[in-house]
Structures are given as C-alpha cells and as structure tokens.
Amino acid sequence: MKIGFGLYRHMLDDAHFAFARQCGATHVVVHMCDYFRNNDRFSKTDQPVGDTSGWGFADGRVWSVEELVDIRERMAQHGLTFFAVENFDPLHWCDILFDGPRKEEQYRTVAAVIGNLGKAGIKVLGYNFSLAGVAGRIIENKARGGAQTVGLDGRNEQTESPLPNSMAWNMVVDETATGIRRPVTSEQLWQRLTEFLTRIVPVAEAAGVTLAAHPDDPPLDLVRGQPRLVNQPALYQRLLDIVPRPANALEFCLGTIAEMSEGDVYEAVDTYSQQERIAYLHFRNVRGRVPHYHETFIDEGDIDMARVIAILRRNGFEGVLIPDHSPQMSCPAPWHAGMAFAMGYMQALIGRG
C-alpha cells in the first residue's frame, strides 16, 4: 500500500509538492480539471462545494503530453510519483454523459486525453460518470471541535433545483445555453456507461492506462432531477462486470460508500479488494448516511479505518490511498493542517513514508 495526496489544479507548485512529501506522500493524484476556473465565489483553500450555479467553468482543453511530463518531472524532484489524474474536464465528455450532438467528437477527445496520459507515463485516470456531479453538499461546522466540513442535512435547493442545459457534472459547460436538461432515466445512464466502457477500456489498455470509477456523491437516487449511477455498494459490481478487464477498475471512495443508504463498507472493501479492481482509494471518514451525513476527521467517523487497512492488507492491496479531503482546522492554514492530520493518521496506520 502506498500513501498519496490529491492536489487541485492551482496547487501544482513546489510549495505543495514539498508539503505533500513532508506529510509522507510518495504518490500524487492530480486534478487537472480546474474546478474553480472563472469562479471566485468560493474559497480555493478546500474542495469545491458550490451552489446551484455549480463549481467553475469547464474549458475542455486536452492536456498535452508536455505539460503532463513537466508536472511529473517537477514532482519527481520532490520524491513524488505522478500516480493518477482524477476526472475529465466536463467539456471533454458532457455529450457522452448526456448523449448530445458532439458525442462522437468527444469520444475522440477522451481518447486523446487518455493517449496523452499514457505517453506521459501516467497510469491511472479516475473518473466520475455523473450527470449532475458532486452537487448538493453544504458547509457546516460539524467536525470535531466545530471544524468546518461538508455534508448533507436533508435535501436542499442544490439537490432539488433542475440541472440547467448550461451545466454538466456540476460545472458550467455552455453559459449561453438556456432551459433545463431533459431528465435521463437510470437505464439510459447505465446504457451510456456501457457504451463508454465498451469503447474506452480498449483505448485505455492500448495506452497503458487504468480507468478508475468514483461513485456518485452524494449517493442519493436523484440529484437535480437526474439519476445517480453508483449510489449503492453493489452497483460497483455492475460497473465492473460491463467490461471485466483490469483496466476497468475503481476509484474506491470510502466516504461515499459509507454514506450510502444500504450496504456495509467493510464488506465492500473486502469484496472489491479481493477482486484486485481497486486502483486507488479516497481514505476519508464520515458520520451518518444520506440524506443526513457529514464528513469528519479521519479518526472520528463511523468507519473503523484500522479495520479497513486490515482488510486491504489481508487481500494484498498494493494501490494508493489518499485522504481526498479533510475538515478545515481553525488555524492560519486550515487546509494544510487538516491534510497533515489525516496524513499523520494514515502514516501511523499504514507505515513509514
């Protein structure tokens, strides 16, 4: 098992690389999509949360081999491995998600993105096949000591307001578009995922890249009038079985799995790590289940994190674990302190960095 760190687009600098290494990270998961682009409404010091207007503005640029290699080489100077990219930019694939007119063009874009990752030596691409994206969460001071965290306290304006045509994956993809997205059925969503995996897993295999699926967070049935995909632990198996190949793997988000209304997080960890289909984990903790939960510090949630590590060890898991996100601590550096706390706990559980 390897301990990693997730860095957002605006954190790809020496200071954050040094901080990640000092926290014991050896591997980095990079968010190449700038969730905050052209959007100063929300603080960039933590994960994006947003409101009914979503996160930032997608730009759809295909990340070049050169820029990916530059990031990889700058990280390497700090003893860090560029392990994965997490998420497409919504403009790479919004018409794949919504079966729109640019679908075929976007399949070519997705193939180009994956091809460039492979050429740059980056072996994992996390993705979240989600129509409304990570939407609906609210900011609350519910973590230990009143620390700021995110969660859900029942359905709210964000989860209920219909998704506009201007948005996909909780970001703006066409600010000129008007009207509301036509509701998609759950079966249509699974059909689109089936086409996506059937067409793209071979592309990923040829590029030497593993695709890793994140579950839908919050794992409700509907968010903004659109169905959710993997919102129960057993549905991960349905996704894996569409294309039963090693390159069709999981970005296993422990927190999201624990938030789900059904299932047992320990059984899920055991089931999927036994199959060796977990590429990396979001090793974060929560309290409660949808529609009432909040993210917690790594040591104070419902999940016994030591028990999760014991299951992973028993099943010989050799992938990467990252904290994903942590509550913001009340100090001059809320994000850094929260991440350092989480990483220290992971180091103690998993081993020396």
Of 215, 219, 287, 220, give the one whose Cα is nearest residue 251.
Answer: 215
Q: Which is nearer to ligand CS2, 81 or 326 (CB)?
A: 326
**Closest among 174, 12, 150 to 80, alpha carbons compared:** 12
> Which of 87, 75, 218 is CA-nearest to residue 158?
218
46 interacts with ligand CS2 by CB under 6 A: no
Computed over its alpha carbons, how large is the radius of gyration of the chain? 19
**In the complex, minimum distance from the CB of residue 93 to ligand CS2, in angstroms, rounded to a whole number:** 14
Contact range with ligand CS2 by CB under 6 A, out of 37-45, 229-237, 248-256, 260-268: 248-256
Closest to 321 (Cα-Cα) out of 259, 266, 273:
273
Within residues 18-37, the interface with ligand CS2 by CB under 6 A covers 31
| Span near ligand CS2 by CB under 6 A; candidates 154-162, 253-261, 308-316, 333-341 | 253-261
Q: Which is nearer to ligand CS2, 151 or 205 (CB)?
A: 151
Contact between 343 and ligand CS2 per CB under 6 A: no
Q: Which is nearer to ligand CS2, 134 or 320 (CB)?
A: 134
| Distance, CA of 119 to chain centre | 23
Torsion angles phi and psi, residue 55, rounded to 5: -85, -130
**Terminal Cα distance for the chain, rounded:** 11
As a whole number of angstroms, the distance between CA 30 and CA 23 comes to 16
- Asked whether the beta carbons of 170 and 54 are under 8 A apart, the reply is yes
How many Å separate Cα 349 from the centre of its chain?
23
User: What is the pairing mode between strands 124-127 and 138-143?
Assistant: unpaired
Instruction: Tell me: does residue 256 bind ligand CS2 (CB under 6 A).
Output: yes
**Smallest distance, ligand CS2 to C-beta of residue 101, A:** 26
CA 107, CA 99: separation in Å to the nearest integer?
11
Least distance from ligand CS2 to the Cβ atom of residue 48, Å: 7
SS3 state of residue 227? strand
x/- mask, ligand CS2, residues 299-338, rule CB under 6 A, reads -------------------------xx-------------
What minimum distance in Å lies between the beta carbon of 104 and ligand CS2?
26
Contact mark string toward ligand CS2, 81..110, x via CB under 6 A: -----xx-----------------------
Interacting residue with ligand CS2 among 253, 278, 320, 339 (CB under 6 A): 253
Residues near ligand CS2, by CB under 6 A:
31, 47, 86-87, 128, 134, 214, 217, 253, 255-256, 282, 324-325
